């Protein structure tokens, strides 16, 4: 089954279609497709004259989890700006067909797998949904992007600045950290069995968050109580700093 490559810019569309890229179907970017891109899109190739960096449509595409962007720009200064704003690759005009082919193949390889499994949680970036077992968890677009970014970086501490840049995607000030903390609290209420004792999203004091999957431990009723606990099968509790 061919994946869909969204191409913005008439000349780019004609050039891309002439390349006959195996496994990719070229879809021309229109105002409607840019405003509400359909889930099967694997990657985006765009001319910054047609889709300016920093425009609302650009940020909508930029925030789609797992969809790499290839920007065709008019200068090396604009190329640097495109990379700073999260594009996966750039091409500086004038471009050659063979170079475009190679760059398209590269961004298609960067397209992330269709789903991520974290314990019972399954995150599907193509459909934009999260399930736990047979139950679908309803998240806002921001909450989904936040969870997805933490998931692809599972086991690593993700700082506040990185989250603001990769998930929110705009310049921020010190007060924006409160927005991250509020979003994490909402996300925990959606996915954690007990939001007051998080199992998935753990706080790292004054730094950010890390997502981890811990196996549930079911102590045997015959397990001897720890010294001084006074309760059978219950170990010392771990304090998780709240967001």
Give the pTM. 0.56
So where are the chain's domains?
3-110, 116-211
CA distance 94 to 236: 65
Q: Report which listed range, 28-42, 152-166, 197-211, is most confident.
A: 197-211
CA distance 45 to 91: 10
Q: Tens of pLDDT along 97-144?
A: 999 999 998 898 887 666 788 888 898 876 778 998 889 999 988 899
Candidates 79, 67, 72, 71; CA nearest to 108 is: 67
> Hey, what are 177's tokens?
């950290």
**What class has domain 116-211?**
mainly alpha
Taking each helix axis as running N to C, give the angle between helix 141-152 and helix 176-191, from 0 to 180 degrees, rounded to the nearest 10: 90
The dotted CATH code for 3-110 is 3.40.50.2300
CA distance 90 to 69: 8
């Amino acid at each position: 089954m061919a994946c869909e490559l969204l191409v913005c810019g008439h000349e780019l569309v004609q050039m891309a279609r002439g390349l006959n890229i195996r496994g990719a179907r070229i879809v021309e970017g229109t105002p409607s497709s840019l405003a509400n891109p359909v889930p099967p899109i694997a990657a985006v190739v765009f001319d910054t004259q047609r889709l300016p960096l920093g425009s609302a449509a650009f940020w909508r595409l930029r925030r789609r989890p797992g969809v790499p962007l290839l920007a065709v720009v008019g200068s090396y200064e604009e190329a640097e700006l495109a990379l700073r704003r999260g594009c996966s690759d750039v091409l500086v005009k004038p471009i050659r067909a063979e170079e475009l082919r190679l760059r398209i193949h590269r961004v298609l390889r960067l397209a992330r797998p269709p789903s991520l499994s974290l314990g019972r949680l399954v995150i599907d970036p193509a459909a934009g949904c999260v399930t736990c077992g047979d139950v679908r968890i309803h998240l806002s677009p921001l909450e989904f992007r936040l969870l997805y970014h933490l998931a692809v970086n599972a086991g690593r501490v993700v700082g506040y600045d990185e989250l603001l840049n990769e998930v929110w995607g705009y310049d921020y000030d010190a007060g924006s950290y409160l927005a991250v903390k509020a979003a994490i609290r909402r996300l925990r209420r959606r996915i954690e069995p007990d939001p007051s004792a998080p199992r998935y999203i753990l706080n790292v004091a004054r730094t950010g968050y890390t997502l981890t999957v811990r196996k549930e431990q079911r102590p045997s009723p015959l397990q001897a109580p720890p010294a001084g606990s006074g309760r059978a099968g219950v170990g010392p509790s771990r304090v998780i700093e709240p967001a």
